[in-house]
Amino acid sequence: MLQLSEADRDAIRVAQDPQFPRWLEQITATGGCSHPVHLSGSTITLDGTTGEILHHYDTRSEPGERLLVRCRNRRVTVCPACSRLHAGDTFHLVRAGLLGGKNVPATVRHRPRLFVTLTAPSFGPVHRSGEPCRPRRDGGTCAHGRPVGCHAAHAPGDSAVGQPLCPDCYDYAAHVLWHAHAGKLWDRFALGVRRQLASAVGLAQSRFAEHARLSFARVAEYQKRAAVHIHAVVRLDGPAGPDDEPPVWGTAERLIDAVRASARRVLIRTPYSPAVGDLTLRWGAQVDARPLRADGDGPDDDAVAAYVAKYVTKGASETGAGTDHKVTTWDDIGTAPVSGHVRILMRTCWRLGGLPEHEPLHLRTWTHALGYRGHILTKSRAYSTTYAALRAERAHHAGHTDIPGTVTDAHWRYVGSGHTPGAALLAAGVAEDIATSRVIAREEITSGREKVIT
């Protein structure tokens, strides 16, 4: 035993506990969650008419007198098990808005639909992958004595990719403040698309909602230079939403024109700051808008949904931008496992966040995200279903739903989170077994379909 690691000795201790089978049931119910929440309390289900107790549950009979529930963290670097579940929910949420299902009519697949990409502007030249990086015939140096070009052929995974050619020339303050206003830029962009569509067909802009509705789901992605860009599925419906057909003038081509025009025109002017002056923030010059067509002539709907679902689960270590956890002091930034470029962005966030004129932006709170304050995935109300509805559907499928005509009296309190080292090993094994079972089940379904086709 002395030769075993601490985790192995702890795993043996957990497995030898008389209540281990029940503990294993709890771990399996959480899908092998890496950082479960520990709850203590009870529930009593009563008949709504007679007051008879139909069911009583109390954690005093559970291992450690606590119940384990999922942490629901979307990041794969924090909890792979909950990340897979979140990715699945995201896939169905985005897919329902493209193809129907989950109370969304199948007719939406024939609506004007686009896959739109909006980028951040340039804040200074950075190293790029490809051959060569930034060639310049005349060579030359910047005001700080650094080369303004680069003739190297960087591989995509090269650590230099995304790093500024000259950190002193790079506009870190504009980068951070652009992130802080990215959500507002999107809101103005979406409003601009509606206005452009109305103007194109001779409608008063204020009456657009009487004729059509713009629905969307968007995801934020960090590029190699640690700047956010936006991928969005945009759909045009009738005024009542997905159940209503769009007007005859609502075509994909007209929607593309409106997207491009709005992206060019939208801007935000920041209030004057003695530290950075006043800035004009815009979208970058690279705007992509591709039609999604029901006949397959365009990006595949399932592929788009899968891409969005895959990205929302990525951790900061995978994107190379910021950290998965908030920082609370200046010293935390110095010890964060990030590149030099990202560290300067974090320090710029912290420094600007301490200025009175930038206090409303809460930059210090969002230093770990480089100033970006938005959710990774955001959707309009009428685009499709919600995460809450998907969770409720899953609970109903598992039989965890309220019985009609009953009243539930519940009392819960938080008592901890996470695993001991040995329990973490066992939970990881459970999560791996569940993931493997799903892969096998998927392969069997695919194999069965191929046999039917042949």
Q: Does 316 score more than 60 pLDDT? A: no
Residue 78's pLDDT band, with cuts at 50, 70 and 90, is confident
Residue 187 to residue 51: CA distance in whole angstroms: 50
Q: Is 402 left (phi over 0), alpha (psi -120 to 50) or beta?
A: beta
The confidence score (pLDDT) of residue 255 equals 96
Residue 125's pLDDT band, with cuts at 50, 70 and 90, is very high
**For residues 287 and 117, is the Cβ–Cβ distance under 8 A?**
yes
Helix (H) or strand (E) holding 182: helix 182-200
The confidence score (pLDDT) of residue 398 equals 67
Residue 178 to residue 227: CA distance in whole angstroms: 9
Which residues 6+ apart lie within 8 Å of 289 measured at CB? Answer: 114, 115, 116, 117, 255, 256, 259, 260
Q: Does 452 score more than 70 pLDDT? A: no
**Number of residues written out for the chain:** 454
CA distances to 28, 259, 412, 423 from 63, rounded to whole Å, are 14, 56, 16, 13
The confidence score (pLDDT) of residue 51 equals 81
**For residues 376 and 312, is the Cβ–Cβ distance under 8 A?**
yes
**Nearest in space to 24 (alpha carbons), one of 434, 421, 430, 437:** 430
The confidence score (pLDDT) of residue 405 equals 75
Residue 418 to residue 332: CA distance in whole angstroms: 23
**For residues 374 and 220, is the Cβ–Cβ distance under 8 A?**
yes
**Nearest in space to 223 (alpha carbons), one of 311, 319, 310:** 319
Mean pLDDT of 231-247: 94
Cis peptide before 132 (omega within 30 of 0): yes
Percent of the chain with pLDDT over 70: 93
Quote the Cα angle for 186-192-247, to 5°: 115
Mean pLDDT of the chain: 88
**Residue range 386-432, pLDDT digits in tens:** 888 888 888 776 666 667 778 888 899 999 999 999 999 999 999 99
